[in-house]
Amino acid sequence: MRIPTTRILEQLEAFYGKQEPCWPVDPYLFLVWWHCGYPASDAACMKGWASLQGSIGVDPPQILRASIPELTKALTPGGMVPALRAKRLKEIATRVQEDFGGDLRRGLSGPLPQARKALKKFPNIADPGADRILLFSGVAPVAAVPSNCPHVLVRIQRGLERENYGVNYRLAQQAIADEIAGNVEERTRAYLILKRHGQELCKRTKPKCDACPVRTICAYHAGNHRGRASLT
Ligand code: SF4
């Protein structure tokens, strides 16, 4: 029998504590933050974000006034390809100014499919990124799944993640959509706790099952103990 998502989240939250986002929840500011680091980990993005805020600023007019070399220098603490990220920031700021009058949040207030389509026109934003922005900005309580760990719920409930990323994402999204109340607060809570668990213990390769607070209810762990994981 599949373990309820609510029970899994409760056990994980009892272990990790309540989680808070470490990124800006405003849609435009999130897009800037996301390009502040590469590879785009929380730590890398925070470093680049602090540097950008401290030197140039993050509002569209501030980014548009800066030169590419100035932006590149500001983004360098965030990791690789700072010049490419500088160009992307210019693209984002230009589009927000020209297409949304400087207010992307208000521009997303129409029908959800249109909002999603608009977000996916920004660089490096596919469905998981659009889901995250829509949820955390409070535009809609979509069942967003952390893009770097869609396997977490799939492992616990089904035993072995699929090889296809999109299938794992959809399975995890369905588990949240079916069982977690359709409000922004509960769905951000689910997102954050799954993200933390995927980063800390249920890593994509070599999960640290011996230290895991949900190992006694995890189908993947049970499968490994039997010599093979089940896939349902
Ligand atoms: S027991 Fe292992 S596979 Fe299951 S949730 Fe914990 S870390 Fe992930």
The residues that bridge with 55 in the sheet, in sequence order, are none
User: What's the pTM value of the predicted model, to 2 decimals?
Assistant: 0.93
* Domains of the chain with CATH codes: 5-19+144-225 (1.10.1670.10), 27-136 (1.10.340.30)
For ligand 1, the distance from its centroid to the CA atom of residue 220, given in whole angstroms, is 7
Distance 208 CA to ligand 1 centre (A): 7
User: Measured between alpha carbons, how far is 225 from 31 in angstroms, rounded to an integer?
Assistant: 42
| Res 232 pLDDT > 80 | no
* Average pLDDT over every residue of 111-125: 97
Ligand 1 atom nearest to CA at 207: 7
pLDDT digits (tens, 9 = 90+) for 144-174: 999 999 999 999 999 988 889 999 999 999 9
CB atoms inside a 10 Å sphere around CB 205: 4
The model's confidence at residue 39, banded by pLDDT at 50, 70 and 90, is very high
> Which of 45-54, 77-86, 204-213, 217-226 shows the lowest per-residue confidence on average (mean pLDDT)?
217-226
Ligand 1 centroid to residue 218 C-alpha, Å:
6
Distance, in Å, from the CA atom of 127 to the CA atom of 115, rounded to the nearest integer, reads 11
